[in-house]
Structures are given as C-alpha cells and as structure tokens.
Amino acid sequence: MSLSYMRRALPVGLLMLAAAGMASPARSEATEYEFQLLQSEVKQGESALLAVRLIHKPTGHTVPAAVIFTHRLDMAPDGMATMKSRLVPLPSTEPGIYPFNADLSMEGNWRLSLAAKLQGEAGTVQARLIFKAVE
C-alpha cells in the first residue's frame, strides 16, 4: 500500500470509527486493544507453546489481567474450519502476555480465535490470528 493511498484512506477510516462510536460507544473502546501473536511460525507438535500479547494501540502498552472467555484453534486458513484442536490457556508469566498450550497436529496454517473482557472497559476484544505450524 502506497503512502499516498494511506493519506487518502485515513480520513475515511477516522470517519468510520467516529460513526461506529456514535452507534456503540462500548465497541469503539474495545477496538483500541489488539491481540498480537508473539510468533508467526510455531513448531508443529502435540504440546506446542503459543503466546499472544494484548496491547492498547494508542499507547503501545501491554495490558494485563484480561479475561479470555472464548478461545478456539482451527485450520480455517487451510480450508479446514471444522478441524478444531486442543487449546489450553496457561498462567501468564509476564504482564500482558497470554500463553497457551496447543495441539498442532498438522503442519500448515492455523487460526487462533479469542474473545476477552478487560477490566474497566465495556465491550469485547476479539481476535482472529493466523500462524503457521512448521516442522
């Protein structure tokens, strides 16, 4: 994407955010947060370690103590949305980092879906993150 495209697209994006904010203030607050995978490639195996970081986008700070109430792991990116696999949340060892133990039974592209509630924020933070299981 070129810089000139981004300059033109930005005001439209801001208007859309403003419109969404009027319709649903709670939702627009939750959109300031983002889950990010710590790694885009993970070694395939039945006891793989995945980790995501939750950031507050305006400040770049990591956000601890989110309650992840929905989590799912499947191979939707490779056309296997029904191929769901085991995903177990682990205790956080670093503020704002959320680790999981996962059964990556197959090499290829996996999707990690999360939904979380944050302390002091209405709305839900949702994420669909794609990563690759490699040998």
Residues that bind Cu ion (CB under 5 A): 75, 80, 83, 106
**What is the side-by-side strand order in the sheet with 67-75?**
41-43, 125-134, 108-117, 67-75, 80-85
Smallest gap from residue 79 Cβ to Cu ion (A): 9
Q: Which is nearer to Cu ion, 33 or 110 (CB)?
A: 110
Smallest gap from residue 124 Cβ to Cu ion (A): 28
Q: Which is nearer to Cu ion, 92 or 113 (CB)?
A: 113
105: which residues sit within 8 A by CB, 6+ positions away? Answer: 44, 46, 85
Nearest Cα residue to 131 out of 32, 34, 48: 48
Smallest gap from residue 36 Cβ to Cu ion (A): 24
Q: Which is nearer to Cu ion, 77 or 99 (CB)?
A: 77
- Which residue of this chain has its Cβ atom nearest to Cu ion in the complex? 75
Query: Which DSSP helix (H) or strand (E) runs through 25?
Result: helix 25-30
